Amino acid sequence: MENWTRSAKVTYKRWSNPEPGDEGDFVGHTDEDQATDNEICTIASAKVDSGSRESASSSGNNKTAETFSVDDALEVIGFGVFQWKISFVTGFAWVGDSMEMMILSILGPELHCDWSLPSYQVALITSVVFIGMGFSSLLWGNVADKYGRKVGLVISMCWALYFGLLSAFSPVYSWLLALRGFVGFGIGGTPQSVTLYSEFLPVRARGMSIMLMAVFWVLGTVSEVLLALWVMPTLGWRWLLGLSAIPMGIFVSFCFWLPESPRFDALSGRREKAIATLTRIARENGKELPRGKLIEYKQNERGQYKDLFSQQYWKITLLLWFIWFSFAFSYFGIVLLTTELFQTESCGKTQGSSIEPRCSLECKYLTSADYKDLLWTTLAEFPGLLIILFAVDYLGRKKSMAICFFMFSLCILPLYACIGRVALTIFIFIARAFISGGYQVVFVYTPEVFPTEIRALGMGTCSSIARIGALITPFVAQVLLRTSMYLTLSVYCGCSLLAALASIFLPIETRGRSLQESSLDSDR
C-alpha cells in the first residue's frame, strides 16, 4: 500500500506550436506564468471538435511549455485519502447491487408459499430482474459517456432505491413483478461505479483497488443472508425488501460528495472542472499537482456504438462480450447447480421428482439451517478473491482470467463421477471461488482497455451481454439437468474452456497500462 501513496516521477512532455504565426488563447500570461500555472493545452484531431483547434503560444514562434495529462497528475498524486473515501462511497453501490441479487434466492421460496405461486411464476421474479438489467445496461453506459459517469450512476441508483422500496408494498404478484423489473433496470447502472472509480486511480494501484471492490460485493451477499436470518422468521419478506435498500440509500445520501471524473471533464472541454477536481484530490492526499498545462482532449462525439466496432476495437469488443457472457453463465450456473446436484440420486441422470415437487404449489419455507448453508456457500468466494487479488498484478489480466476459467473447468470434471457429498461440496466451492474471482478480473480489464470516450459504453454493453448469460443458465442448470447431468456439465465445461482461449487471444494486456483518453491515443 506504501507504493500506492508514493509520488511518481513524471516526465513532462514538451509542447510547441507547429504553425508559426498563430495566435493562442493564453493572452495576458507571461512566459513565466505559462511555465508554472496549471493551464490547459488542447489537443485537436480530425475526430476532435474543430472549434478547439487552438495554438498554445502567446508570443514566440518556437517557445515551449511543459504539459501533463490526467494520468500524469494521478501518478504524482498517488493513492491516498481521496481514493479511500471514493472506495467506500462507490462500494455501497456494489453492496446494494449484491443484496438485490442475493435476495432473489431468498424471496422465491417465501412467495411460493405465501402467495401459492407455481414454479414458473417464482422463476419469473428472478428473470424479470435480469431482463431489466440487460436492457438498461446499454442505456446507462450511453448516458455515462455522454453526460458524465456521476450522472449515470446517481440516476440509476436513485431509480433502483425508489422502486426497491416500492416493491416492499406490492399488493399482488403482478405489481411485484413489474416493480422488481424496474429495480433490475436501475441496478443495471451499477457497473458504472467501476468506470467512475477506475478513472481516479493511479496505474500501479488500479488492478488491486478494483479487485478490492469485490469485497463489497461479498459483504453485500453475506449481509443479505444474515439480514434474512434475522428478519424472515419474525417480520417477513416485505421488511427484507425494504431493509435491503439501505446500502443504496447510503450511497444516494453521500453521492453529493462524488466529483465527476476529471478524464470525462477533460474530454468534454470542461477545463476548469478538470483542474478543480485534480486540485481537490491533491489537497486531500497532501500532494501537489505537477506544474505546466493540462492536456485536454476535447471531443464532442462520445458514446458512439460504432466506435466499439472500429478497426482498433472490434476484436476486443467481441471477445469481451463472450468472456462476460461466460463468466455470468458459469457463475450463476454453479450457484444453481449447488442445490440441484445435492438432490441428484443417480450419476447419469437426475430424477425429476427429487428436484421438482409433485405438486407445483407444494412449498417449503427456508429454515435456519438453509440460511447457514447459504452463508457458507457465499463465503466460499473469499479464497478465490484473495488469490486473484495478487495474481491480477503479477500474472496480468489476461492470464488471470484464463486461469480462472481453466480451473473452473478442472473442478467440473470430477462431478462426472459418482463422488460423495463432501467431495462434491469441495469441488463445487473451489469452482465457485475461481469463477467469482475471475469475474472480478474482467471488471478490472474492461475499463482499462477501452478509452474514456467509450469506456462507460463498453462496460454497459458487456454487462448487457452478461445478463443474457444469466438468463440462459437456469434453463441449463435446472431444466437440462433433469435430462442429462453429463450434458449439463459438458456445456459449462466447454463454455469455460472456450472463454479461457478467448482471454488468451485478447490483443491487449492492460497491466501497467495508462488509461487511454481517446481511440486516437497511441498505446502509452
Mean pLDDT of the chain: 77
Q: pLDDT band at residue 301, thresholds of 50, 70 and 90?
A: low
Share of the chain above pLDDT 70, in %: 77
pLDDT digits (tens, 9 = 90+) for 286-296: 888 877 777 76
pLDDT digits (tens, 9 = 90+) for 360-405: 445 666 667 667 767 776 777 777 777 777 788 788 889 999 999 9
Instruction: Flag the least confident range among 193-197, 333-337, 499-503.
Output: 333-337
- Closest among 364, 331, 109, 473 to 481, alpha carbons compared: 473
The strand pairing partners of 15, in sequence order, are 65
420 or 397: whose pLDDT is higher? 397
Q: Which three cell numbers stand for residue 482?
A: 433433469
Q: Looking at the predicted structure, is the pLDDT value of residue 352 above 70?
A: no
- DSSP class per residue in 148-194: -HHHHHHHHHHHHHHHHHHHTT--SHHHHHHHHHHHHHHHTTTTHHH
The strand pairing partners of 13, in sequence order, are 67
pLDDT computed for residue 29 by the predictor: 43
pLDDT digits (tens, 9 = 90+) for 461-503: 888 898 888 888 877 886 787 788 889 899 999 999 999 999 9
Share of the chain above pLDDT 90, in %: 18
pLDDT computed for residue 203 by the predictor: 77
* Sign of the Cα pseudo-torsion (523, 401, 373, 97, in order): positive
The strand pairing partners of 55, in sequence order, are 24
Of 14-18, 34-38, 102-106, 160-164, highest mean pLDDT: 160-164
Q: Looking at the predicted structure, is the pLDDT value of residue 10 above 60?
A: no
Q: Looking at the predicted structure, is the pLDDT value of residue 308 above 60?
A: yes
pLDDT computed for residue 299 by the predictor: 55
pLDDT computed for residue 303 by the predictor: 54
pLDDT digits (tens, 9 = 90+) for 200-231: 888 777 777 877 787 888 888 888 888 988 88
pLDDT computed for residue 297 by the predictor: 62
307 or 403: whose pLDDT is higher? 403
Of 63-67, 176-180, 349-353, highest mean pLDDT: 176-180
pLDDT digits (tens, 9 = 90+) for 83-135: 899 999 999 998 998 888 888 777 877 787 778 777 677 777 878 888 888 88
Q: Cα 76 from chain centroid?
A: 26
**CA quadruple 100, 171, 159, 121: dihedral, nearest 10:** 50
| Average confidence (pLDDT) over 453-462 | 83
**Structural domains of the chain in order of their starting residue, each with its CATH number:** 66-294 (1.20.1250.20), 304-345+364-515 (1.20.1250.20)
> How far is Cα 395 from Cα 441, in angstroms, rounded to an integer?
12
Q: Looking at the predicted structure, is the pLDDT value of residue 50 above 50?
A: no
Q: Which three cell numbers stand for residue 430?
A: 473451489
376 in Cβ contact with 385 (< 8 Å): no
| Average confidence (pLDDT) over 138-148 | 83
| Average confidence (pLDDT) over 403-412 | 92
- Closest among 107, 89, 98, 85 to 223, alpha carbons compared: 98
> How far is Cα 212 from Cα 437, in angstroms, rounded to an integer?
11
